Structures are given as structure tokens and as C-alpha cells.
Structure 1
Amino acid sequence: MYHERSTEQRKRRRGTKLVVLVLAVALVVGGWFAAGAVNQNLREQGAVSVRNAILDSAKQCCAIEGSYPSSLEHLEDEYGLRVNRSDYVITYEVFAENIMPSVVVVPR
């Protein structure tokens, strides 16, 4: 049986479609912002992990050799440290052989 829709029903249906469309767009935009925030958080956690790995290797070097290494390259050559320099900017500063080096790791 054919039933013609009234103007009221067509308006209500159009309004429902509009609400669904707005909600879908809001979900996509919210997901995009959430993914960006998660990505930034992961990069910051990665920088902390890289810094901790460098400091742990420096402490190991100090325990074995009796002094902190003078360069990051020494840790890479002698202690197997691997650092992703394309993702992080690393500053390794040594004041003296008996003082722990200053290490700053910043995501690019």
C-alpha cells in the first residue's frame, strides 16, 4: 500500500539526517584531534626513554671505566647505544669526568 508522506514527516526526516551528519563530522574531527594528542604524547615519552638510555649507558661506562664518557659517540661505539637522530635532537654536555653529563633530548 502506498502512503504519501506529509510535509511534517519530510521535515522531521531531513532534521534527523542533519543531526546524524553533524554527529558524524564531530566524531571525525574529535578523533583527528585525539590522534594528534596521542602522537605528541608518544613522542615526548620516546624522548624521555632516549634520555634515560643515554644516562644509563653513561652510568655503566662510569662504573666500568671510572669516569663518565666525554662524548655520546663513545657510548655508541663502545657500549652499543643506538640513538635515532632523525627523530630527536640530543645535547650531551660534559663538565668534568667525575660529574654526570647533562643530557637534553627534544623531539623534532
Structure 2
Amino acid sequence: MDREHTSRQRKRRRGMRLAALALVLALAVGGWFAAGAVGQNLREQGAVSVRNAILDSAKQCCAIEGSYPSSLEHLEQGYGLRVNRDDYVITYEVFAENIMPSVVVVPR
């Protein structure tokens, strides 16, 4: 049994399809932006964790050796610190042996 569709019904169906397509596209774009925001947040949290690990190792070195390490390499060689330099830019500055070093970690 064939049904005849009026032009009004065809227009309504076409409008519903376009609305559904627009909704799907809006959800996809929203998901893409949300994924980018989550990724950026994870990189920033990782940078904080790397900075804390470096400072903890420097404090441990100071407690054992009596002074803060003069370089990040000293912590890597003597205290087992592993830093992912591909993902983070690290600045380690020492002012004096008895003052905690300045550590800045920035995600790439």
C-alpha cells in the first residue's frame, strides 16, 4: 500500500533530518573542545607533579648531603629522579647551597 506524502509532510521530515544532523554536529564539536580542555588540564597537572618530584628529591639530597644539589643532573644520577624532557621544559636554578632551588616546569 503506497502512501502519498504531501509537500508539507516532506518538508517536515527534511526539517527533522536537518535538526538531527545539526544536533549531532554540535555534540561532536562540543566533544572535541572538551577533549582538548581535558588534555590541557592533564598536561598542567603532570607539570605540577614533575615539579613536586624534583623538589622532593632536592630536599632529600639536602637532608643527606647537607646542601641542595647544584644541578638537576645530580638528582638524576644520585637519587633516581627520572624526568621526561620531551614533554616538559624544566628550569632548575640554584642561588646558594643552603637555599632551596627555584624549579619551573612548563608543558611543551
TM-score (norm 2): 0.98
2:87 corresponding residue in structure 1: 87
Cα distance, 1:60 vs structure 2: 0.4
Give identity over the alignment, percent: 83
Moved over 3 A (4+): none
Indicate the residue corresponding to 1:33 in structure 2.
Answer: 33
- Once the two structures are superposed, what CA deviation does each residue of 1:14-49 show, in whole Å capped at 9, x if it has no partner? 000000000000001000000110110000000000
Counterpart of 2:100, as a letter, is M
Question: Displacement of 1:2 after TM fit?
Answer: 1.6
**2:27 corresponds to which letter in structure 1?**
L
Give the structure 2 partner of residue 76 of structure 1.
76
Q: Which runs of 5+ in 1 are unaligned?
A: none
In structure 2, the partner of 1:45 is 45
What is the aligned-residue RMSD (CA, Å)?
0.5
Deviations 1:83-106 (A, max 9, x none): 000000000000000000000000
Q: Equivalents in 2 of 1:50, 1:60: separation in Å?
A: 15
Q: Name the count of aligned residue pairs.
A: 108
2:36 is aligned with what amino acid? G
